[in-house]
Amino acid sequence: MLKEPAMLLQLLPYELSVCRFDPGKPVPDWAWEARFVSITRTEEELSIFCDSAVVPEGAAAPGVWRAFRVAGQLDLELPGIISQLAVPLAARQISIFSLSTHDTDYMVVGEHQFQDACEVLGRAGHTLEEPS
């Protein structure tokens, strides 16, 4: 049972891909054309999550991903947002990536587990909103 208020989760209407590059490689121009892009560079890698439509063949890791966006703007100090989503998904053995921006959080799951994830999150009390 949820102890915290349930959240409105908006389903992103497109598939995502994840790409990994060497850390010194520049961000490819095609990444900036994406409707959704999350770029992370560390000393070990350059990772790009973006909508699959812009990714050239062979650039993405295997697999297709889908994302849920927590609706609204979140307070940066609000605790427990990711855990409210991750805990019920982990209990069902659904693997996740979580991505955060200044305003909100995204939960990303494999396409092959997307319907299960929708059911789990709905049973956990969250409302899922299809794109219009």
pLDDT in tens, 79-127: 457 888 999 999 999 999 999 888 888 999 999 999 999 999 999 999 9
Strands 46-51 and 96-100, sheet pairing:
unpaired
Q: Report percent pLDDT > 70 for the chain.
A: 89
What residues does each domain of the chain span?
Answer: 8-129
Mean pLDDT for the stretch of residues 16-39? 96
List pLDDT tens digits, range 45-85: 999 999 999 999 999 888 999 999 998 665 555 545 788 89
Alpha helices in 31-110 (DSSP H): 81-91
List pLDDT tens digits, range 75-87: 555 545 788 899 9
In whole angstroms, how far apart are CA 90 and each of 6, 18, 59, 82, 129?
A: 18, 21, 29, 12, 22
CA 89 to chain centre: 13
Record: fold of 8-129: VC0802-like (3.30.2130)
